[in-house]
Amino acid sequence: MSDPVCPLCLRPIPPDVKQSVHHLIPKLKGGRKGPTVLMHHICHREVHAALTEAELARDFNTPEALRAHTRLAKFAEWVGKRPPGFSSKVPGGMRNR
């Protein structure tokens, strides 16, 4: 059986790599029992660094929408060149709140 694929960077997620479950609609916005996707931990952190819960719920609640976001597209291109187990601090800092 092949490894699951991260919906942001499209790299495989081996079982020994830090991973996270991302709620496509944030739990705080009613998505507690909604759809989820498995992501690399670094990719999941970048999603939450780039977008507010409201933005995620309203405009970025699909993998396609996340990949279309300017910052996340740049991140996905950058991290996509690294091995699946790559980990680093989130580049670019946290979003302005």
What value, to the nearest 5°, has the Cα angle with vertex 38 and ends 69 and 47? 30
Instruction: State how far the Cα of 79 lies from the Cα of 10, in Å rounded to an integer.
Output: 10
Question: What is the DSSP code (8-state) at residue 12?
Answer: B
What is the per-residue pLDDT across 5-61, written as a single tens digit (0 to 9) for each?
A: 999 999 999 999 999 999 999 999 988 999 999 999 999 999 999 999 999 999 999
Residue in 65, 64, 92 with CA at minimum distance from that of residue 78:
92
3 pLDDT above the threshold of 70: yes
Q: What's the pLDDT score for residue 96?
A: 53
